[in-house]
A and B are shown apart, each in its own frame.
Chain A
Amino acid sequence: MKSFFKGGYGKSSNILIYVCLIYYVLASLLAPGFFTMNNSWNILYNLLPLLVVAIGQTYVMITAGIDLSVTSIIAVCSIAGGYVMSSDTSIFSDPESIFFGILTMLLVGMVIGMVNGISVTKFGMPAFMVTLTTMMLFSGFAIWCTQSQNIYNLPEPFVNMSYSFFLGIPVPVFIGVFVLVLAYFLLNKTLFGEWIYAIGLNCEVAKISGVKVHRTLILVYMFSGFCAAVGAIFYTARLETGSPVMGQNILLDVIGAVVIGGTSLFGGKGKIIWTFFGALFMTLLDNSLNLIGLSFFLIMIVKGAVILAAAMLNTLKEKSLKTTA
């Protein structure tokens, strides 16, 4: 465990840990109902889906790309899983339907990720353009498919997952930690991870040095799709419905978490543990501002300003690195 953290500690994440701590203390003092058991659960359940989606986004951003389609992936996964699991539509009986439902969600997420990846690599389109259009395409698709209706009557065990415990720890925490450890392992211990950084730092150098650039990038977008699908599982279970507009508002939070975590906007730099604290900070911010009673729009203004400031710091740091070099 020690080395797990050691790998993630950089100067900027050190600062971020203190920022999170100070913010937590301040919010406990100032926001009514923040420092309560109930709200702590709230924070945890808001953090988990954001964290897993942001982890996938971190991979993409390290390659100097961006995945704007994560919200639409969440929506499509949610309705696809809902369709497979709901007792109104399912062709499976209860326990199997959950298994196939989750499998469907993960597969759908990865397939959409693959579409993104192939468009970015084989057709050489900018990631921003590709994922912006796939976001529109799949959001529209989800709403069109369901005629904007939610899917209800999901199986009890699936819905209860959010609140069930295993060895005294909530099941979603297990899933979140699993994704976190998997992402950390792939990025820091394997060839795949080294290649992701190399592509982000200099794609041409990577190609000449024998990096399978296309394959790696496609896998990165698939991983982002996979993470979004896990996020969709969290949300779908918690809201007890398959919804075609699920996750629509979290894009800013996801990108915010990664950027606040210090992942470079120009690629080549970023760590899973940084993103963890980025996501934690975004969640604390959102939660506390809600408790103070700010309106949705004011919260948006604050979050936007915070992310812009983080992006600015990020860019300044990058620049100073280049000039001293």
Chain B
Amino acid sequence: MLLELKQIQKSFGEVNVLKGVGFKLDKGELLGLVGENGAGKSTLMNILGGIFPPSSGEMRVNGKNYHPKSPNDALNEGISFIHQELNLFLNLSVAENLFISNYPRKKTMGFSFLNQKQARKKALELLSQVGLSVSPKSPVERLTAAQRQMLEIAKALSASPRIIIFDEPTTSLTRHEAQKLFQLIKKLKQEGIAMIYISHNLDDIMHLADRIAVLRDGELISSGERQNYTIPSMVKDMVGRDMDQFFPHRNTVPLKEFSLEVKNLGAGFIQNMSFSIRKQEILGFYGLVGAGRSEMARLIYGLDPMETGSIIWNGKEITSPNPVQWIKEGVAFLTENRQEEGLMTLQNLEKNIQLAALPSFTRRFNIIDYKEVKKKSKTQADATKTKYHSITDQLVSTLSGGNQQKVVLAKWLLIHPKLFILDEPTKGIDIGAKHEIYVLANSLVECGSSIMLISSEIEELLGLCDRILVVSEGQITKEFEKEEFDRSKILEAALHKAGKEEQKL
């Protein structure tokens, strides 16, 4: 047995995150590890990767006891960890990133120099292994999300690992790019490398895994051959109940009146974007990663300066949009990147939730009515079904991804948004939390608000939206009314222009 984990326990303070989990992994085998956020998947993998030690339990690699004290120990044992957030230095070149810890060197007159020639040669070898055709000299910031992902794998391969851990490798990839990754994974499997694959995308798990392990609340609920699982059975194990209806039923239709109108918006590579959104409407934005949807939202919200165009809110023009004004108008913006732009991670839940709405809780001399704001923050935390043990003593960084996202949602719901811009609200979030977010979005619309939903998950858009706009290379290229919703047509529209470009390259 290549890898064996027995009765792994881990607690942070009083919180038991893992309650005796174990599994086995053989050569050339791929274990699909699934579970809701907070189920303990990342903790388990961090223990395996040497980031922190288990509280108790046993780990064996090739029958030998394994006690990694650092990620380096794990690497020496042949365990490579590819994190969800990639660890690349954007300002450095591909080759420099590949050999960041072990750059080829040569000795000249007793001095050690970098051996550029050999680095390039070795880099090209590694890149061809993962099927990435970029120059070792090109800076990583010029690579697409998918190319960066491949580079990260090449980096992992440079240590000639026996086991690779993938944590949500496809979140920033499009379907097409993900397929390439899967081909590579299958190739690595044939070469005898064992893999642990963590994902919320159960289709991918069914497609790739040999065996499956389901975690819930720090316990191993079930594990076994893939043949014994179906997606519904996995979901049932994950959440502990059947998922009868995933998307909430939409009872409302958009009203006649517009809430937001955007005309000829442009800046940078965003050109001439025009659209309007009605009251009680959920308007979806689909496109490839990097198509310009987030950039568009940032322009509208006034985070980046717009060069052309006008923005009309409830019939009146907003000349210089900025977050302060939008919040006053009741427009909220949940950004794609909750760690860097959504949360003060080293702050407690309450302070995070109250931040945007604070001005509305001030009395004379800007004195804050803490009693009121505390009460309302708690109400929102509970309304979003955030799981926490203390709203004032717990740092947000100790919450799971799904619960962190709920904190961001709670923050914005506290300003009672009339328009809510959601940028990838369910990215890297488990099924239970996703469902709760959908329900929240629906009830918000039923109360008369509008939602702009930017998402790379087409199912999500099909399930929720009244209308879908397709964005490609900084432009809105196609519009689909609810009656015309068709998965493949929407995909095609998004890929169309990008496809042409690929041929050119």
**Residues on A close to B: CB < 8 A?**
189-192, 194-195, 197-198, 201-202, 204-212, 268-269, 321-325
Contact = CB atoms under 8 A, between A and B. Distances in A.
Interface of B: 12-13, 52, 301, 303, 323-324, 326-328, 333, 335, 340-347, 351, 354-356, 358-359, 362, 365-368, 370, 395, 397-398, 411
B356 A210 contact: yes
Closest 9 pairs (CB-CB, A-B): A325-B397, A210-B327, A201-B344, A209-B356, A191-B366, A209-B355, A190-B366, A202-B344, A210-B323
Interface of A is mostly: helix
A268 B411 contact: no
A206 B355 contact: yes
A208 B365 CA distance: 24
Given A194-B358, A202-B343, A208 B367 contact: no
B333 A208 contact: yes
Contact of A208 (B303, B328, B345, B370): B303
B213 to A, nearest CB: 26
A268 B347 contact: yes
A134 to B, nearest CB: 28
Contacts of A269: 346
B368 A194 contact: yes
A192 B362 CA distance: 11
Contact of A190 (B301, B333, B368, B395): B368
A321 B12 CA distance: 12
Contacts of B342: 205, 208
A268 B351 CA distance: 12
Nearest to A212: B324
A233 to B, nearest CB: 25
A168 B149 CA distance: 72
A208 B395 CA distance: 20
A188 B121 CA distance: 59
B346 A201 contact: yes
Nearest to A267: B346
A210 B359 contact: yes
B303 A189 contact: no
B365 A190 contact: yes
Given A201-B347, A204-B340, A325-B398, A211 B355 contact: yes
Contacts of A321: 346, 395
Nearest to B334: A208
B362 A191 contact: yes
A192 B366 contact: yes
B346 A198 contact: no
A197 B351 contact: yes
23 contacts: A189-B367, A190-B362, A190-B366, A190-B368, A191-B362, A194-B351, A202-B340, A202-B345, A205-B342, A207-B323, A208-B341, A208-B342, A209-B323, A209-B356, A210-B323, A210-B326, A210-B328, A210-B355, A211-B355, A268-B346, A269-B346, A325-B345, A325-B398
Nearest to B13: A324
Given A208-B303, A210-B323, A325-B397, A191 B359 contact: yes
B346 A322 contact: yes
Nearest to B373: A194
Given A190-B368, A322-B397, A325-B346, 13 more contacts: A197-B347, A198-B344, A206-B344, A206-B355, A208-B303, A209-B323, A210-B323, A210-B359, A268-B347, A269-B346, A321-B395, A324-B12, A325-B395
